[in-house]
Structure 1
Amino acid sequence: MTTSAFSPTFPPATREEMLRLGWDRLDVILVTGDAYIDSPFIGTAVIARVLLDAGYRVGVIPQPDTASGRDITRLGEPLLFWGVSGGCLDAMVANITASGKRRRQDDLTPGGINNRRPDRAVIVYANLIRRYFKSTAPIVLGGIEASLRRISHYDAVSDSVRRSILFDAKADLLAYGMAEKTVLKIASILRADGDISALRTVRGICYVSRDLPEPVPEFPEPDGVLPDHSAAARDKGEFTRMFRLFYANADPMTARRLCQRQDTRYLVQNPPQSPLSSAELDRIHELPYAREVHPCHRNDGPVRALDTIRFALVAHRGCYGECRFCAITVHQGRHVVSRSEDSIVREAAAFTAHPLFKGIISDVGGPTANMYGMECRKKQRDGACVDRGCLFPDVCPGMPVRHDRQLRLLERLRTLPGVRRVFIASGIRYDLILKDRKHGERYLEEILRHHVSGQLKIAPEHVDAGVLNRMGKPGQEVLEAFIRLFTHLKRKKALDGFLTYYFMAAHPGCTQADMAGLRAFAEKKLHLLPEQTQIFTPTPATWSTLMYHTGRDPFTEETIFVERDRAARERQKAAVTPARSERPKRRSPRRRKGQGTL
């Protein structure tokens, strides 16, 4: 796309852009490990737009050169604070595979070569700022890397328990979770009096204290004291106790303030920020994003991630699935907040004015596409239940499982003038489809007919009961029931298409024999070998990583097998992944007049 064809406006990334806006100094400078994509799918872009919308002068420094001050100094020093993020992924996950190899590609780096994001990017960027700005404005960490590493945590790359990233980065504050409200509060307080100590009652932050904090009216419950870092690093039982207390205080309705001694000082984590309202989420997603890569990357090559998110829609945030290998619970939270249908339709209608829009909306979803419009009223009022999950071991009877709201939304989107196809690329929980007796079958038919192209992707992850229990996933019988419904619907409605299955190898508790059982099931029941199998990656702040580190199931206290050998982990994957000679040649699905390709 050329500038002459379409000239979006970006928050500035260069001094020349600042001066064109008439700004001699910025209030906030955001530093990120990703290329600068101005999109509601990119956390740094969202924070920049939210601050701009509130009247702050904001600039962005993407993927700064860490060997010099060329990039980090180009916007000067902010008046209020620096915001530092590793990007949309934890840097160690972005850089290192589950088998311990360096990743060669990075879809969030111009040109696609993984050569711009440093390991432990948050720490590196914070130290880079300190190198060139000695006594500078406060440094505030944010994004998923900071969020997941905010307390003492197991780090798989070093095979060690590391202290809070706030201490290693020598930063002033850490804003965890989806931090729009938190960042606005930080900016407001710093603008009013500049006193960083005044931030200590802000929800959603962590800070360093020389002593245990005094009680404050804002957090009336007694503080939770986590085991010291030294104890958690030395003793796996203490690490487990620490994680239990941490996870139990992840819900904004019920969480207490937490404290953990890290060295001679304490990490203090205030309770999580309250979820956004639907109206607040609407406003954020209707801000004037350019939906383009910033011109500062123009000569560096394409950023592949843009292809999948430019014309995609976020319908909601949060996930109550609580898969135990997934970090969404401690980052986005268990509360699902859905946007209004009108807001989503307005955003989609705006796509049609973009010169590159070809009538295809690539996704309508969130962490799980079919959680849109579904949330437990009791949870919204009192917080998440402490004695059971929303979907595991089965779908809670109190969860109002209805797909009618999403059905209405999808119909409105696909009938918009200028829109030819609307796809769902986000994951779908098939147990929710089965639970919805009134609308589930119709929902499945509608997405097969209109919203997938040839294949419906589902993620059973495994079929062994023990492995599934440790993953927090529904049992094999639920998968088989869904396959029966899918097959019945195809025959009844004369629909083409097939299911694509995502599985996981080497999850804690999974053995080579379990993978052999999965292969036998796939050959006998699915009549295929799954091509989409990933090796479990231990990421901070998940139950599965706790199991990987301790070798115990924290829910049963059993000692479990954990495959740590890299070659053996690869063998687990190879047990079910077909060799090239075994991969079937799929015929092209037939097209039917008036309906999508299935």
Structure 2
Amino acid sequence: MQTNKLSDWLPTTNKEVKIRGWEELDVILFSGDAYVDHPSFGPAVIGRILESYGLKVAIVPQPSVNDDLQDFTKLGIPKLFFGVTGGCMDPMVSNYTASKKRRDKDAYSPNGDKGFRPDYATSVYSSILKDKFPNVPVLIGGIEASLRRVTHYDYWSDKLMPSILETSKADMLVYGMGEQPLREIVKLLQKGVPFSSLRTIKQTAFLVTKDEAIPKNKNWDDVEIQSHEVCLKDKKKFASNFKVIEQESNKLKARRIFQNIKERTLVINPPYPTMTEKEIDASFDLPYTRLPHPKYNKRGPIPAFEMIKTSINIHRGCFGGCSFCTISAHQGKFIASRSEESILREVDKVANMPDFKGYLSDIGGPSANMYKMKGKVQSICDKCVAPSCISPVICSNLDTSHKPLTKLYQAVDSHPKIKKSFIGSGIRHDMLVPEFNKNADPKELDDYTEEVMTKHISGRLKVAPEHTSDPVLKLMRKPSFKYFHKFKERFDKINIKKNLKLQLIPYFISNHPACEVEDMANLAAETKDMGFQLEQVQGFTPTPMTVATVIYYSGYHPYTLKPTKTPKSKKEKEEQHRFFFWYKKENKGWIRKTLNKLGRKDLVEALVPEEETNSWRSIKPKEVKNTFDDAIPSSRSSQKRKHKSRKKRR
């Protein structure tokens, strides 16, 4: 078996550059993440893509910004440009919790150590480079740059911010998946076209001064959105921008967007069409070592890598369009699926790695069960402006067959070194319910569900209904909770049929726009009635370029421009979150008092009846802890059994 050499990774130091025999570099990349040479890590993908074009590429992972800034100068000046990314996550999400507390760990740093990634890393790195090398082009990309390309609300500073091109001083921004625009950028630079003349490349953005002519393109229509200065003064007009931005981001024939920022104009060119199978295969088939750079061997494991080192990404994109999610904003709503052959090649590579134990942690994607799904008639998709293909109903033009996915799982499992392949990505349970997914063959949906339950999970299946309130779900662009009930019926049926004893674990969100205290109480009551004690829960975190974040900041829904309420104060958020944990001793009295004030005695009886509240007061803290640590029941009957066992202990 081949042993990796230091030169198998992109160079990170002058010594490693010399090992390759290079005298100068074409591109130097700066990243907020530690360098993991794996197709799930964006900086590695960009480096390998550039390398495949014959360029000499180096990467500076997590450069220090707290010293003499030598990390920014040690590799010299690249012939073509500097590339900058904040990393695989927005640095503010990496660094802070939903309550704005600094996180104890950074999943993309060795040993999970924090402090190696500055806040707003893309702007920090890019500004340093422009200050030190004003004449060298800086190209920014990745999720932080992509989602901050226009005027956006920044939750952590509680401010409306201009395009990141303004704050970073960068020359150009690539948004979304970078392979296609990078190919065109490099092609033109290699022909001798100056970087400053790259103005008509799709999926890029840049700023021009008032006296610069904006390049014409006879194939593009243009649209101007409200200026940054207008947005600062008028929240409703800021909200109105988002509808244009979201629709143009997801159209196959999109318009070029203009926005004035002070004395300059932001130009956002239309996106590329969805990557073809051949294009996405080419990206995943590059010579990744699939390992962290050896420089980290003594610093400890990188948590994000440990999580995905035996996982296989089978597609990009998500047509769910959820109001709180940024996946479609960054990866697009149309699915780009890899070929089965490319996936199986990667499976074989993982299976033959020295420390492989026979288990794949995930065969998935942004949503695990969207592989190979697309429009039946392409011309209909070409004209579509809907942000979601499955909300409020599944589009009749969408092919939702799960057959290719079921076949893929079986092909993966036939590899002689694979003992079991897990599905660790989220599964859209609503698409497995025939009453909702009317396009599909019910037997095919049951076959897929049974395949997953019998062969690809271990004890628990996690799904995300997100809420129980229909008005909140409608705003979320999620289906009615009744379809979760329907899915649970099918889940329980297969559980009994196969004698599996699996648990269904639902994820929920509190504090989402349009969510009231009564909605959370109803959620708690309905899930309790179904036999759940919730543990997979989260509070809504406003991140740039989502419908929900626009509502959170402005108070208006960007599509209707009607006022929409959002829980914003710390007290409101904490109170909503408490309803998830109705079963905890310290919450029961507060829940009774709150619901009685609202006149909802029905919910009091459903959640915390008097006799239950009193009996819980007599339990000692240690006993309470043990009760809370019980496994989550998957049916109401098991919940009753738990209550009986409690009575015995008392």
Provide TM-score, normalisation by structure 2: 0.87
Aligned 8 A contact 1:109 1:303 in 2: yes
Determine the structure 2 residue equivalent to 1:462: 467
The AA in structure 2 aligned to 1:336 is I
1:161–1:359: structure 2 CA closer, same or farther, 3 Å change rule? Answer: same
Q: C-alpha offsets along residues 246-269 of structure 1, whole Å, 9 cap, x if unaligned?
A: 112113522111111001000100
Instruction: Report how far residue 330 of structure 1 moved.
Output: 1.6
Match of 1:595 in 2: none
Partner of 1:75: 75
* Counterpart residue identity of residue 547, structure 2: W
Q: Specify the SS of the correspondent of 1:71.
A: helix
Q: CA deviation at 1:23?
A: 0.7
Q: Which residue number in structure 2 is paired with residue 583 of structure 1?
A: 628
TM-fit CA distance, 1:307:
1.1
Identity value in percent:
37
Q: Tell me which amino acid in the other structure corresponds to 2:264.
A: R
Superimposed CA distance per residue, residues 32-86 of structure 1 (whole angstroms, 9 cap, x where no aligned partner): 1011011100001001111111111111000000022221222211110111000
Deviations 1:238-289 (A, max 9, x none): 1012111111211352211111100100010000122211111112111111
Q: Report the alpha carbon displacement of residue 190 of structure 1 after superposing the two structures with TM.
A: 2.0
C-alpha distance 466-192 of structure 1, shift in aligned 2 (>3 A): same
Give the C-alpha shift of residue 92 in structure 1.
1.2
Aligned to 2:588: none
Letter of the structure 2 residue corresponding to residue 106 of structure 1: D
**Equivalent residue, structure 2, for 1:104:** 104
Distance 1:509 1:212, change over 3 A: farther
Does residue 501 (structure 1) correspond to residue 500 (structure 2)? The answer is no
Greater share of helix: 2
On the 8 A contact 1:376/1:398 being kept in 2, the answer is yes
Superposed counterparts of 1:306-385, under 5 Å: 306-379=305-378, 382-383=381-382, 385=384
Within 5 A, what are the aligned runs for 1:91-490? 91-131=91-131, 133-211=132-210, 218-379=217-378, 382-383=381-382, 385-386=384-385, 389-434=388-433, 435=437, 436=440, 437-490=442-495
Q: Secondary structure at the match of 2:71?
A: coil
Q: Is the 8 A contact 1:43 1:88 kept in 2?
A: yes
> What amino acid is aligned across from residue 541 of structure 2 in structure 1?
T
Cα pair distance change 1:338/1:403, threshold 3 Å = same
Structure 1: 5+ residue runs without aligned partners?
590-598
Between the aligned partners of 2:476 and 2:524, the Cα distance in structure 1 is: 18
Tell me if structure 1 keeps the 8 A contact 2:229–2:261: yes
In structure 1, what is the equivalent of residue 569 of structure 2?
Answer: 565
SS in 1 for 2:490: helix
Query: Quick one: which amino acid aligns to residue 585 of structure 1?
Result: D
* Letter in structure 2 aligned against 1:71: D
User: Partner of 1:60: helix, strand, or coil?
Assistant: strand
Cα 1:227–1:350 change in 2 (3 A) is same
SS in 2 for 1:569: helix
Distance 1:438 1:336 in 2: 24
**CA contact 2:199–2:215 (8 Å) conserved in 1:** no
Q: What residue number does 2:552 align with?
A: 548
Name the stretch that deviates more: 173-182 or 394-403: 394-403
Q: What does the per-residue CA deviation read over 1:376-409, in whole Å, with 9 as the maximum and x for residues that have no partner?
A: 1445774362257310012122211111100110
Correspondence 1:511-526 to 2 at 5 A: 511-525=516-530
8 A contact 1:257–1:270 mirrored in 2: yes
CA displacement 1:211-234 (0-9 Å, x = unmatched)? 387575645343111111000121
Corresponding residue SS for 1:250: helix
Retained in 2: the 8 A contact 1:203–1:270?
yes
Residue 593 of structure 1: aligned partner: none
The residue type equivalent to 1:300 in the other structure is R
AA aligned to 1:529 is Q
Q: Could you tell which deviates more after superposition, 565-574 or 105-114?
A: 565-574
Shift in alpha-carbon separation, 1:66–1:486, aligned structure 2, 3 A: same
CA root-mean-square deviation: 2.0
Question: CA offset at residue 556 of structure 1?
Answer: 4.4
**Residue in structure 2 matched with residue 84 of structure 1 by the alignment:** 84
- Aligned equivalents of 1:270, 1:556: Cα separation in 2: 26
1:298 Cα shift? 2.9
SS in 2 for 1:161: strand
Deviation per CA, 1:546-578: give whole Å up to 9, x if none.
111112233444423211112431232221135
CA shift digits 1:402-427 (9 cap, x unpaired): 11100110001011011111011011
TM-score (norm 1): 0.94
- Residue 157 of structure 1, CA deviation: 1.2
Distance 1:567 1:302, change over 3 A: farther
Secondary structure of the residue aligned to 1:135 is coil
- Counterpart CA distance in 1 for 2:487 and 2:250 is 32
How many residues are treated as equivalent by the alignment?
585
Contact 1:379/1:385 (CA < 8 Å) preserved in 2?
A: no
Q: Report if the CA contact (8 A) 1:99-1:570 is conserved.
A: no
Which whole-Å deviations, capped at 9, do the CAs of 1:506-562 have from their partners, x for residues lacking one? 00111222111111011102x122101100000000001011111223344442321
Per chain length, whose mean CA-contact separation is higher, i.e. which structure has more relative contact order (CA < 8 Å, sep 6+)? Answer: 1
